[in-house]
């Protein structure tokens, strides 16, 4: 029940931003519900005035009936117009809030969440937001309809009105349990649907690997296998609707038949007039049509609630790496970095990634981090960017603990060239200017030239307006690297992190990227995660990391001649040489 209230709280919080429009919409909805309920009363009036043969009375009833019908039409239109003035901006606000929260969530959250399940949750949740609002409109109208019917029946017979009221209560209790079961089956189905979406998205993102290994049939079988539990959960969910139909249909039709029999006997016993009987039949038929409509709307609400639960639960995800209450912002950035006895453990495996890690990087110094795979090199960068918070020690930039800085301010100090640059499915211009949106074309071209990217850009048919494809697939690995370097050059950060990735590139691309790297690193504090040791012989300092500890520090020449040193062994393994 607590989760249900939380979903309604989130839903209402977006609607209440448009308070005036929502109040007008609610009043119009109530008025529409009343106008929709009056039609059977006119059936009675027609039955009673027609036999009298007085045309003036008939015209009076017809005029009044026409006014009610016209008023219903106008109110219906106004209800949807004003309702859309609430719904459309509120749905936009909700989607923006969820998107912003996903952006703010920690690196760890995204590591453990598949893109497919997130896309499914957002898609279903956005649709459920619209549907739930329309269902609220319909349910309020139906409630007003039922209230008018009960009041009208009270004037005919308190006994009939009481019987219908008891019938409604019994049906609502039954609906509660049936809809609760429906929500459960919907929630289980959503999980299986997310599994299907995850495989489809994963396949689309890795289509090249699928084709390289000729695994199209395997992927088809993999998806087909996931559809087995999906189909089972869908059948269970669908049958929960049939259970609702059968249960309520039996009770509703039985009561409708009983009330019709009582009405017919009451006419014969002259306790009510034929006009009252016709009005009662009109109310009964409209009552059960609307009651079943209410059930269907509640059923839809259950589905929408289940979808909104996944959608709005993203807003309740905790942010583990929090900004400080009173952040410190560096006025002038030098780029001095200190790791002071840092300890860090990844929560998921409880193994120490860094142990008593000590490192000092001076302003403008170029430092290479080397070590075996899994030694902790990448962890150092993740902690420096506050993707995770350390358990012990301090990380400082220019003497300020990075935990005292806003994450956005901290990360704005850096320019990152990742090992595998992922580009947006947009133009080359957009991707280069991403680090500094609004940069002029002349600045973009200058950055591209410095990164040795202009050589291939100018030869493309559309130049900077060339689309790079999803994740940059239309470019080669070397071209993507040079675009990533151009992006950093244009941003002009104080600190640069270069996850050196030239080992998988051809000689010409490696030469150009190395040349571009030394250009961009000039005068900047630069950290290189080195995979190919021959590319870092010129750096100021090499830090050798093993098992999360700093094992050796020095220049290439100092370390390569160090007897029994780890760097010397790594150099020998890669080159077979000792200088």
Tokens of 390: 């350390």
Tokens of 37: 């309920």
For tokens 């900077």, name the residue. Answer: 464
Give per-residue pLDDT as tens, 562-577. Answer: 888 888 888 888 776 5
For residue 353, is it within any domain? no
Give per-residue pLDDT as tens, 250-269. Answer: 776 777 677 677 767 776 77
Burial class (CB in 10 A: 0-12, 13-18, 19+), 25: buried
Q: How far apart are CA 546 and CA 353, in angstroms?
A: 10
Tokens of 532: 């190919």
For residue 566, is it within any domain? no
Q: Which of 445, 156, 423 is closest to 164 using CA atoms? A: 156
For residue 477, is it within any domain? no
Q: Which helix (H) or strand (E) holds 420?
A: none
pLDDT for residue 369: 93
pLDDT for residue 397: 93
pLDDT-based confidence at residue 578 (cuts at 50, 70, 90): low
Residue 286, pLDDT above cutoff 70: no
For the ranges 20-24, 183-187, 372-376, the one whose mean pLDDT is highest = 20-24
Task: Supply the CATH number for residue 202's domain.
Answer: 1.20.1560.10
Please provide the average confidence, as pLDDT, over all residues in the chain.
Answer: 82
For residue 518, is it within any domain? no
Q: How far apart are CA 156 and CA 272, in angstroms?
A: 7
For residue 453, is it within any domain? no
CA 175 to chain centre: 31
For residue 228, is it within any domain? yes
User: DSSP string spanning 66-118?
Assistant: HHHHHHHHHHHHHHHHHHHHHHHHHHHHHHHHHHHHHHHS-HHHHHSS-HHHH
Residue 579, pLDDT above cutoff 90: no
* Count: domains in the chain: 1
Tokens of 6: 């939380």
Whether 375 and 545 have beta carbons less than 8 Å apart is answered as yes
For tokens 């704005």, name the residue. Answer: 412
For residue 231, is it within any domain? yes
For residue 359, is it within any domain? no
pLDDT-based confidence at residue 81 (cuts at 50, 70, 90): very high
Beta carbons within 8 Å of 213's beta carbon, 6+ residues apart: none
Range of the domain at 116: 2-315
Q: How far apart are CA 251 and CA 257, in angstroms?
A: 10
Give per-residue pLDDT as tens, 380-432. Answer: 999 999 988 998 999 999 999 999 999 989 988 998 888 888 888 899 999 99
């Amino acid at each position: 029940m607590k989760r249900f209230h939380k979903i309604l709280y989130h839903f209402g919080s977006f609607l209440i931003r448009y308070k005036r429009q929502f109040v007008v919409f609610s009043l119009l909805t109530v008025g529409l519900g009343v106008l929709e309920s009056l039609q059977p009363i006119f059936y009675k009036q027609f039955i009673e005035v027609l036999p009298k043969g007085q045309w003036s009375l008939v015209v009076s009833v017809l005029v009044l009936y026409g006014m009610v019908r016209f008023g219903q039409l106008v109110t219906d239109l106004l209800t949807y117009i004003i309702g859309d003035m609430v719904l459309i901006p509120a749905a936009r606000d909700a989607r923006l809030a969820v998107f912003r929260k996903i952006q703010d969530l920690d690196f760890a959250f995204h590591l453990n969440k598949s893109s497919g399940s997130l896309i499914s949750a957002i898609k279903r949740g956005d649709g459920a937001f619209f549907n739930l609002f329309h269902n609220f409109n319909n349910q309020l109208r139906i409630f007003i309809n039922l209230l008018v019917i009960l009041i009208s029946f009270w004037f005919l017979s308190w006994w009939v009105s009481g019987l219908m009221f008891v019938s409604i209560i019994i049906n609502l209790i039954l609906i509660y349990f049936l809809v609760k079961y429906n929500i459960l089956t919907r929630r289980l189905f959503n999980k299986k649907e997310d599994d299907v979406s995850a495989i489809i998205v994963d396949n689309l993102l890795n289509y090249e690997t699928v084709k390289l290994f000729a695994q199209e049939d395997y992927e088809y079988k993999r998806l087909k296998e996931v559809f087995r539990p999906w189909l089972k959960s869908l059948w269970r969910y669908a049958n929960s609707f049939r259970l609702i139909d059968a249960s309520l249909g039996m009770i509703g039709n039985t009561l409708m038949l009983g009330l019709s029999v009582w009405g017919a006997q009451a006419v014969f016993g002259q306790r009510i007039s034929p006009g009252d009987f016709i009005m009662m039949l009109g109310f009964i038929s409209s009552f059960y049509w609307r009651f079943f409509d209410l059930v269907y709307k509640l059923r839809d609400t259950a589905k929408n609630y289940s979808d909104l639960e996944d959608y709005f639960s993203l807003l309740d995800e905790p942010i583990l790496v929090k900004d400080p209450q009173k952040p410190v912002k560096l006025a002038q950035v030098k780029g001095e970095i200190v790791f002071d006895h840092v300890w860090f453990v990844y929560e998921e495996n409880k193994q120490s990634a860094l142990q008593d890690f000590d490192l000092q990087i001076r302003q403008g110094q170029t430092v290479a981090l080397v070590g075996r795979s899994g030694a902790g090199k990448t962890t150092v960068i993740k902690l420096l960017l506050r993707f995770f918070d350390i358990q012990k020690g301090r990380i400082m930039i220019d003497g300020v603990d990075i935990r005292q800085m806003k994450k956005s301010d901290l990360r704005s100090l850096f320019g990152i060239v990742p090992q595998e640059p992922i580009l947006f499915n947009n133009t080359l211009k957009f991707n280069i200017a991403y680090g500094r949106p609004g940069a002029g074309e002349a600045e973009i071209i200058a950055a591209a030239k410095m990164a040795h990217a202009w050589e291939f850009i100018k030869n493309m048919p559309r130049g900077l307006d060339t689309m790079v494809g999803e994740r940059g697939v239309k470019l080669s690995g070397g071209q993507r690297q040079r675009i990533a370097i151009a992006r950093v050059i244009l941003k002009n950060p104080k600190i640069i992190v270069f996850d050196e990735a030239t080992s998988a590139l051809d000689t010409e691309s490696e030469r150009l990227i190395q040349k571009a790297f030394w250009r961009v690193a000039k005068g900047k504090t630069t950290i290189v995660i080195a995979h190919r040791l021959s590319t870092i012989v010129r750096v100021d300092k090499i830090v050798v990391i093993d098992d999360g500890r700093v094992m050796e520090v020095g220049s290439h020449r100092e370390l390569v001649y160090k007897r029994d040193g780890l760097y010397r062994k790594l150099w020998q393994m890669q080159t077979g040489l000792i200088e």
